[in-house]
Structure 1
Amino acid sequence: MTNIYAGVLQELDRGKPAVLVTELMADKKGAYSSKKALYTADEAERQTRAREDKAAIAEALADGRVKLLVETHRIRVIEPFYPEPQLIILGGGHIAVPLAEFAARTGFAVTVVDDRLAFANRERFPRVRQVICDSFSTCWEKLHFTPYTYVVIVTRGHRHDLECLRRILQEQWAYAGMIGSHRRIAAARKQLAAEGFAADMLARVNMPIGLKIGAVTPEEIAVSILAQLISYRRLQNPGQPEKSAAKAATESDRRLLQELAAGGDRTKAIATVVATKGSVPRREGAKMLVFPDGSLLGSIGGGCAESEVIREALTILAIGGCKLHHLDLTGEVAEEMGMVCGGTMDVLIEAWPPGGGAGNGW
C-alpha cells in the first residue's frame, strides 16, 4: 500500500495543500488504535462522508488550524498541510548571498538565478534548493510559480529588472519585490505603465523592497527583505503589521515528512501538537519523531514538557498503538518544569508504521 505521507509530499510538491485526517478509535479496554486518510483540496468535498468532517476539513484548509474533534469513543485530528514557501532570487550578487542563507534557515526553499557562472554556483549558495545559471530571458521555463512563491529581484541592471518584472507580472505569487533607488524604480514603473501594465498590478510589487530599518550593509539589507517576506507569509495584512492578525498556518517540518514518507524498517513514534491554549512553546502542527534509541528529529518546544512526551513516546513504541497526551504548563506546573509558559498542549503520540509493518498504507 502507498505510504500516506508520501502522498502528502506529492501534493505539496505540486503546489497544492492537503489534509490528513487521523481517526482514533477506543476498544472496550479504552486502548486506542488509529487510521489515516488523505484528502487533497479537490477531493475533500466529494469523498468525505460525514457532513461534520466536510465542514471541519474545509475550515482547516481555510484557516490553517488543526481541528481536534473529540467524541466518547472516537477522536479525529484534522491536520492541514501547505506547500513550503518557495523563494526565487533573481540575481546572485552581494545581497543575494546573505538573503539566500537567512531565508533557507527560516523555512524558505530557495532558488537563485543569475546569468553569470561566477554568481550562480553551489559554492556561493550552499544552502539553497536550486541554482540556475541562465539568462533572465530564458530561465523561466525552469521556474514554477504557485500561490506560495515569493520573488525578489536584485539584478545588476535596469534592463534585467524590466525583463524580470515583465515576466513575473504574468505569474501567480504571494510576494514580489525589487531593489533599487527611487529613480530606478520610478523609471521602471513609468516604462511598464507605458507598455500597458495596469497600475494595480504594479502596485502589488514592493518597490523599494524591504522594511525600513535603516539597513546599510548587504547583511542588513537582506534582513530587511527577509523581514518583509516573513510578514507576507505570516500576517493577514502585512502593510499594517501593528494592526494585522496573524495567519493561522500550522507548523510543519519538511524533513519530518520526508523521513515519514521514506518508509523503510526503522520504527518511530510521531508526536504531533494537535491543540494548544494560552502561552506555549510550539503551536498546532508541530511534530517530533522519537526513535527507539531515544534519538529525535524535530521538536515540540524542548524542556521538561518535551521530555515527558519522549518518555510517553518510548512507551508507545514498546506496546504499540497511540494516545492523546495532555500537558499542563500553567501556574505551579510550569514553574516546577522551569518553563516560562502559561498554557496547555494536547499531543497525539502514534507508533509508526502502525503494527510495526514498514510501508503500511495508513
Structure 2
Amino acid sequence: MHPTDIYKRVTETLDAGQRAVVVTTLSGDAAALPEKLVLTEEALQEAGGDASQALALSALDAGELALQKSASGGVCFAEPYFPESRMIVLGGGHIARPLVEFAAKCGFNVTVTDDRPSFANRQRFPLAKRVLCESFDRCIPMLNINRSCFVVIITRGHRHDLDCLREILKLETAYTGMIGSRRRVAGARQQLLSEGYTQETLDLVRAPIGLDIGAETPEEIAVSILSEAVRYKRVVSKSHWPELDTEVLAELAAPRSEPRALVTIIETKGSVPRDVGAKMVVWSDGRTLGSIGGGCSEGGVITAAYDVIRNGGHRLVDVDMTGDVAEDEGMVCGGTMKVVIEKYAS
C-alpha cells in the first residue's frame, strides 16, 4: 500500500473511533525505502499472528511504539494510533465555560451542547471544536460517542442530568462523570437500580464528578473535573494514551508532489524532550511540521533529512543530549534518542 494511503486509512479508522497500528520495516540497506503496513484493531483481533502482527499487538496493548531490531541491522517498529481524546460537555452553564477552555488547552477535542441558544454559541465557547444547540434527548445520537470520549454531564437540572446519563450508559466511553450533591447522586443511583441498571454499570460513573479538592468556584470545579478526566486518561486507562499530532497525520495522508522527509523517534534513553513516536515532516526548502524536541538536536536531524530527501532511502540517526555538548547549549535534557529519517514519497 502507498504511504499516503496508509495514513489515509489510519485517519479513516480514527474518525470511526477505532484504533490502528502502522508497522514500518527498514532493511539493513539504507538505500531502500521502508515498507509500511497498517493494521486496524479489529483486524489484529481476528489475525492469526505473524511477527509483525505480534509486534503490532504489543504496541496496541501498551499504547506505545514497539521496536524490534534484527541481526542484519534492520529495524521494525509498530506505532499505535488512538483516536483523539474528545470531551463531550452536556450542558453549557457557568461551569462549562472554564471547563471547555481548560480542556481545549490540555489537548482535548471539545464538544459542548445545550438546548438554549444563549448558552450554545461560538461566542460563549470559542475554543470548542463543536458547539451544538439541541435538546438533550436528541443530541446524544448526533455526537458519535465512543471509547475515546470523556463525557461530562453538567446540565442545568437534575432531571436532564439523569436523562443524559440513561443514554450514555448504553454507550462505551473512556470516562463518564455527572455533577450533583452526594445526596442527589445517591438518589439517582437508587432510581437507576430500580430501573434495572446494574451496580457494576453505575460504578463506572464518577458521581459526584471531579477530584475532591474542596472546589467552590466554577473555575475550581472545572479544574477538579478536568483533573479527574486527565487522571483517567493517564493513570486509570489500561494502556498509555499516545499523543496524536493531527496536523502531521493530515499531512502524511495528503497527496503531495513535493519531496519530504519523515522523522520519527523510535528509541530514547534518559531525559529527552519528546517520547518515542513523536514525528516531524521536513521539506527541502526548510519548512517543518511537528517536532522531535527543538534545539540543536533537531537542527542536526533536519540537516540529515535534507540528505535523505536528495538521496532517497532512509537513515538511522543517534541524537546525544548528554555531556559537554548539551551543557554548552544550555539543554535541560540529558538523554539520547534514536530517530529514523525516511524519504516520504507521495
TM superposition score normalised by structure 1: 0.88
Contact 1:5–1:261 (8 Å) recurs in 2:
yes
Cα offset for 1:321?
A: 2.2
- Residue 124 of structure 1 is matched in structure 2 by 124
Contact 1:12–1:83 (8 Å) recurs in 2:
yes
- Residue 303 of structure 2 is matched in structure 1 by 311
Q: Secondary structure of 1:348's partner? A: strand
Q: What does residue range 1-362 of structure 1 map to in structure 2 within 5 Å? A: 3-27=5-29, 30-44=30-44, 51-71=50-70, 72-236=72-236, 247-353=239-345, 358=346
Cα offset for 1:319?
A: 2.5
Q: Which letter does structure 2 place at the counterpart of 1:35?
A: E
Cα offset for 1:261?
A: 1.0
CA distance in 2, matches of 1:314, 1:159: 61
Give per-residue Cα distances to partners, 1:244-287, cap 9 Å, x unaligned. Answer: xx843333311110121122224322211111122211111111
Deviates more, 1:263-272 or 1:75-84: 263-272
Cα offset for 1:45?
A: 6.2
**Structure 2 residue ranges without an equivalent (≥5):** none
Give per-residue Cα distances to partners, 1:12-43, cap 9 Å, x unaligned. Answer: 1111111111111233xx53421211111233
Q: Secondary structure of 1:123's partner? A: coil
Give per-residue Cα distances to partners, 1:91-116, cap 9 Å, x unaligned. Answer: 01121122112222222221111101
TM superposition score normalised by structure 2: 0.92
CA distance in 2, matches of 1:192, 1:89: 21
Q: Aligned Cα RMSD in Å?
A: 2.1
Cα offset for 1:315?
A: 2.6
Runs of 4 or more off by more than 6 Å in structure 1? 45-49
Identical counterparts, % of pairs = 49
- Describe the shift of the 1:307–1:216 C-alpha distance in structure 2 as closer, same or farther (beyond 3 A): farther
Cα offset for 1:329?
A: 2.0
Q: Which letter does structure 1 place at the counterpart of 2:200?
A: D
**Structure 1 residue ranges without an equivalent (≥5):** 238-245
Q: Which letter does structure 1 place at the counterpart of 2:283?
A: F
Cα offset for 1:5?
A: 0.9
Deviates more, 1:312-321 or 1:203-212: 312-321
CA distance in 1, matches of 2:260, 2:124: 37
Q: Which letter does structure 2 place at the counterpart of 1:43?
A: A
Contact 2:263–2:279 (8 Å) recurs in 1:
yes
User: How many corresponding residue pairs?
Assistant: 343
Q: Which letter does structure 1 place at the counterpart of 2:197?
A: F
Contact 2:23–2:52 (8 Å) recurs in 1:
no
- Describe the shift of the 1:200–1:43 C-alpha distance in structure 2 as closer, same or farther (beyond 3 A): closer
CA distance in 2, matches of 1:200, 1:45: 26
Cα offset for 1:86?
A: 1.8
